[in-house]
């Protein structure tokens, strides 16, 4: 029996073998096609129920299989799974095109769409109808046959290229190791980071210490290692991922992806890929995105240049460094922060034991949204490190399953993300509850210390948990409008707003306790954390804006004449670069967010959502960070509503007005210094 073809609630990980995936996909696609045939062969007049709802609830088994497979390909992959992904992705792309280019199906959808004003539909039903119609029109349903054929070819090729891009970046990350046998080379590294490096070496039967490009290993080394040559080597290795002209090089993939996306947009009648994408975003047009990014750039750049100069002067005074390089930035910024604020991560880490932070984020969710998290051990999981929880409200109503997976492994891609194994929806009187997962790459425990998080890891945990809440508290009728199925520049609001609680005394006192003494984090450290929130905020803002501008440079103009990835990137970074340029490094070739993930023409969303989150949290601050009335409004109008209405409508219902950019500038300390 193939466990993926059975009806299952929680994913049956322990029963699944790699050989189950392809047959399951093929059968589930056949079943989904049969469901579509039932809709198109219906002799009755097309209605919202027999066509739009029929389409919405078709292919559910295929959706479940896809979520299990592609989540594993991110969190617990291996060569065999990657090979299956390369085989399956074009088939899924073809399947998707079979639906969106199905003329009979589109004719039925169009019939309902054209009658929408006379159908007495709810707001959510109208949103679904609009979304279904656009899923056809934006995927070529109105094209002539020849163009439809070309669209299919492009989609199949893009699905393979994006996978290959990601595989190359992961392989590059896994391939690199810095093996050290002389302890003096680790001078400056915190005890925990040294222990981790020793543990890593031991796990690979090597003497001494190993440093890798995984964040928990790479970041402390860049921040604390005194050895400038060591930092340089690491920085160059990190910055040259998939940019070495070998079999893992992504330059050709980047050019192909950008050009195929542009061709696809043109086929569909859009000027660029960005015009196509932004039609379905709050920002609406590339012009508006550029205007937004440039407005922030104008405020942030003077501050960033002053901050950079301050670090450069500091490095010169301290160590005679004439020219600050990329591998010096984190190290001297950290030293300067320690001097100015008397604060460094090593002082904070003892107060942020992973288990306590998890407990803390749960308590914050309980105080705000009446949620209870109960760890359980009867839910199947894909790796022994994964923790599983059942989530209830205060009245013991079941809300969600929650998976949490916190540490780096060989088969796990870098970074942190939220995902889902099952959506939420309502049908036939039942409210089907979601299965949500947070996946991170945090500092693991060592032989002498538990997992102690840097403050940056604490905010990352809260961030991903905010996405998690968006998924868990979903309360919509249709799965494709549920949870995080919202406009991309709105999706970061719930995650980014949650980070704010990490800076508040009232919240920190719930969980920031010394792992050995149990002492609550002292008030002076809380004050320093708050002060550090705006430390070098100009440089941090400039960095984020540079990524957004790079993204728009690839997708907001015709890329046909771009032949040199590095030269193009250098031009895109011209207005935002502070450090000397290095010809051996390139960001685009490892910029997974835009070339593998879903952020193409959308990287600006992080800053866009920061405006929303600063404005939203200002509302909490005015009324108390645990104010129930404000929390209930946020839950009712943002977290539970998914993509059922336009985001600005939902936001204004919560806040009473549109967000103001001043809230972000004030929080970032950029109002007083710009």
Q: Which of 348, 625, 654, 658 is nearest to 511 (CA)?
A: 348
- Separation CA 95–CA 100 (nearest Å): 9
CB 436 within 8 A of CB 403: yes
Q: What percent of the chain has pLDDT over 70?
A: 100
What pLDDT sits at residue 346?
85
Residue 672 has pLDDT above 70, yes or no: no
For residues 236 and 55, give the distance between their C-alpha atoms in angstroms, rounded to a whole number.
49
DSSP state of 443: P
Q: Indicate the CATH number of 3-142 among 1.10.540.10, 3.40.50.1980, 1.20.1050.40, 3.40.50.1370.
A: 1.20.1050.40
| Cβ neighbours for 340, distance < 8 A, ≥ 6 positions apart | 535
Q: Could you tell me the pTM of the whole model?
A: 0.86
Conformational region of residue 486, where left means phi above 0, alpha means psi within -120 to 50, and beta covers everything else: beta
Give the residue-averaged pLDDT of 355-378: 98
The C-alpha atoms of residue 459 and residue 453 are separated, in whole angstroms, by 10
Of the candidates 450, 440, 432, the residue with the CA atom closest to the CA atom of residue 387: 440
Chain center to CA of 208: 35
Res 671 pLDDT > 80: no
Q: pLDDT tens for residues 369-401?
A: 999 999 999 999 999 999 999 999 999 999 999
Q: What proportion of the chain, given as a percentage, has pLDDT over 90? A: 91
Describe the strand order of the beta sheet including 371-376 as a list of residue ranges.
371-376, 387-393, 398-405, 435-439, 417-422
d(CA 155, CA 139): 10
What would the pLDDT profile of 4-52 be if each residue is shown by its tens digit? Answer: 999 999 999 999 999 999 999 999 999 999 999 999 999 999 999 999 9
Q: What does the alpha-carbon distance between residue 379 and residue 523 come to, in Å, rounded to a whole number?
A: 40
| Nearest Cα to Cα of residue 412 among 657, 71, 51, 668 | 71
State the DSSP H helix or E strand holding residue 400, giving kind and residue range, or none if neither.
Answer: strand 398-405
Decide: 404 and 387 in contact? Cβ < 8 Å. yes
At residue 252 the predicted structure's pLDDT band, cuts being 50, 70 and 90, is very high
Look up residue 59 and give its two tokens: 């292919």
Q: What gap in Å lies between CA 511 and CA 520, rounded to an integer?
A: 8
Looking at 240-324, list the stretches that DSSP marks H as alpha helix, in order from N- to C-terminal side: 251-267, 273-278, 286-319
Residue of 464, 492, 504, 569 with catalytic role: 464
Residue 131 and residue 487 in contact, taking contact as beta carbons nearer than 8 Å: no
Longest distance between any two alpha carbons in the chain, whole Å: 82
Sequence-ordered strand ranges (E) for 81-146: none
Helices 537-555 and 251-267 cross at an angle (nearest 10°) of 60
Q: What are the backbone angles phi and psi of residue 397, rounded to the nearest 5°?
A: -75, 135
464 an active-site residue?
yes
564-567 long-range contacts, Cβ below 8 Å, gap at least 24? Answer: 565/243, 565/251, 565/254, 565/255, 565/589, 566/243, 566/251
Q: Which pLDDT value is given to residue 392?
A: 98
> Is the CB of residue 424 less than 8 Å from the CB of residue 475?
yes
Residue written as token pair 């970046």: 169
Within the chain, which residue ranges are assigned CATH 1.20.1050.40?
Answer: 3-142
342: left (phi over 0), alpha (psi -120 to 50) or beta: left
Residues 6+ apart with CB under 8 A from 152: 93, 94, 97, 101
Number of neighbouring beta carbons within 10 Å of residue 130: 12
DSSP letter string, 138-171? TTTTTS-HHHHHHHHHHHHHHHHHHHHHHHHHHH
Average model confidence (pLDDT) across the chain: 95
Q: Please say if the pLDDT value at position 673 is more than 80.
A: no
Residue 332 pLDDT grade (very low, low, confident, very high; cuts 50, 70, 90): very high
Task: Encode pLDDT of 458-487 as tens digits.
Answer: 999 999 999 999 999 999 999 999 999 999
DSSP for 460-524 reads HHHHHHHHHHHHHT---S-GGGSTT-S-TTTTHHHHHHHHGGGG-HHHHHHH-B-TTT-PBPPHH
Six-digit token string for 669: 């300390």
Separation of alpha carbons 206 and 234, rounded Å: 19
Structure tokens at 343: 């604060």
128-132, 413-417, 427-431: range with lowest mean pLDDT? 413-417
Average pLDDT over residues 189-204: 93
């Amino acid at each position: 029996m193939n466990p993926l073809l059975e009806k299952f609630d929680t994913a049956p990980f322990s029963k699944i073998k790699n050989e189950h995936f392809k047959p399951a996909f093929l059968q589930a696609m056949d079943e989904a096609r049969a469901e579509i045939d039932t809709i198109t062969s219906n002799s009755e007049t097309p209605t919202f129920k027999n066509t739009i709802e029929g389409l919405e609830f078709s292919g559910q088994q295929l959706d479940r299989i896809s979520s299990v497979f592609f989540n594993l390909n991110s969190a617990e992959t291996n060569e065999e799974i990657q090979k299956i992904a390369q085989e399956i992705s074009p088939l899924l792309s073809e399947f998707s095109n079979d639906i969106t280019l199905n003329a009979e199906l589109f004719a039925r959808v169009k019939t309902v769409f054209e009658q929408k004003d006379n159908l007495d539909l709810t707001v959510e039903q109208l949103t679904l109808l609009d979304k279904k119609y656009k899923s056809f029109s934006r995927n070529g349903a109105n094209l002539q046959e020849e163009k439809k054929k070309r669209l299919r070819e492009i989609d199949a090729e893009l699905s393979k290229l994006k996978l290959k891009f990601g595989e190359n970046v992961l392989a590059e990350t896994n391939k690199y190791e810095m093996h050290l046998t002389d302890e003096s080379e680790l001078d400056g590294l915190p005890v925990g980071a040294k222990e981790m490096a020793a543990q890593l070496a031991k796990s690979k039967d090597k003497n001494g210490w190993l440093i890798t490009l995984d964040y928990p290993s790479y970041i402390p080394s860049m921040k604390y290692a005194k050895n400038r040559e060591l930092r340089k080597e690491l920085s160059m290795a990190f910055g040259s991922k998939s940019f070495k002209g070998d079999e893992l090089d992504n330059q050709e993939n980047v050019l192909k992806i950008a050009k195929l996306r542009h061709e696809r947009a043109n086929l569909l009648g859009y000027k660029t890929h960005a015009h196509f994408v932004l039609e379905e975003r709050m920002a609406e047009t590339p012009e508006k995105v550029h205007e937004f990014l440039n407005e922030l750039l104008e405020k942030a750049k003077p501050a960033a240049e002053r901050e950079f100069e301050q670090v450069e002067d500091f490095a010169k005074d301290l160590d005679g460094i004439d020219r600050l390089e990329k591998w010096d930035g984190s190290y001297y910024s950290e030293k300067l922060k320690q001097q100015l604020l008397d604060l460094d991560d090593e002082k904070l880490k003892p107060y942020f034991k992973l288990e306590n932070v998890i407990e803390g984020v749960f308590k914050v969710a309980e105080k705000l949204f009446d949620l209870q998290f109960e760890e359980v051990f009867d839910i199947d999981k894909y790796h022994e490190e994964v923790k599983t929880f059942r989530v209830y409200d205060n009245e013991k109503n079941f809300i969600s399953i929650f998976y949490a997976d916190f540490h780096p492994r060989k088969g796990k891609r870098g970074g942190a993300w939220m995902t889902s194994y099952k959506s939420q929806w309502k049908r036939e009187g039942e409210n089907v509850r979601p299965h949500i997962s947070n996946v991170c790459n945090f500092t693991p425990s060592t032989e002498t210390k538990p997992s102690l998080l840097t403050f940056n890891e604490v905010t990352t945990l809260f961030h991903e948990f905010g996405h998690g809440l968006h998924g868990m508290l979903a309360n919509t009728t249709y799965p494709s409008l549920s949870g995080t199925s919202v406009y991309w520049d709105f999706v970061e609001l719930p995650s980014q707003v949650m980070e704010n609680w990490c800076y508040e005394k009232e919240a920190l006192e719930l969980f920031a306790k010394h792992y050995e003494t149990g002492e609550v984090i002292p008030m002076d450290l809380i004050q320093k954390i708050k002060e550090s929130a705006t430390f070098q905020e100009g440089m941090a803002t400039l960095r984020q804006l540079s990524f957004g501008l790079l993204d728009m440079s690839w997708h907001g103009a015709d890329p046909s004449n771009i032949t040199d990835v590095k030269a193009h990137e250098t031009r895109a970074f011209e207005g935002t670069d502070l450090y000397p340029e290095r010809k051996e490094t390139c960001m685009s070739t490892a910029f997974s967010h835009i070339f593998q993930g879903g952020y193409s023409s959308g990287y600006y969303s992080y800053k866009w959502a920061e405006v929303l989150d600063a404005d939203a949290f200002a509302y909490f601050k005015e009324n108390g960070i645990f104010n129930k009335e404000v929390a209930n409004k946020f839950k009712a109008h943002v977290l539970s509503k998914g993509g059922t209405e336009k985001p600005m409508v939902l936001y204004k219902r919560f806040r009473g007005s549109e967000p103001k950019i001043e809230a972000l500038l004030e929080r970032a300390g950029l109002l007083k210094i710009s």
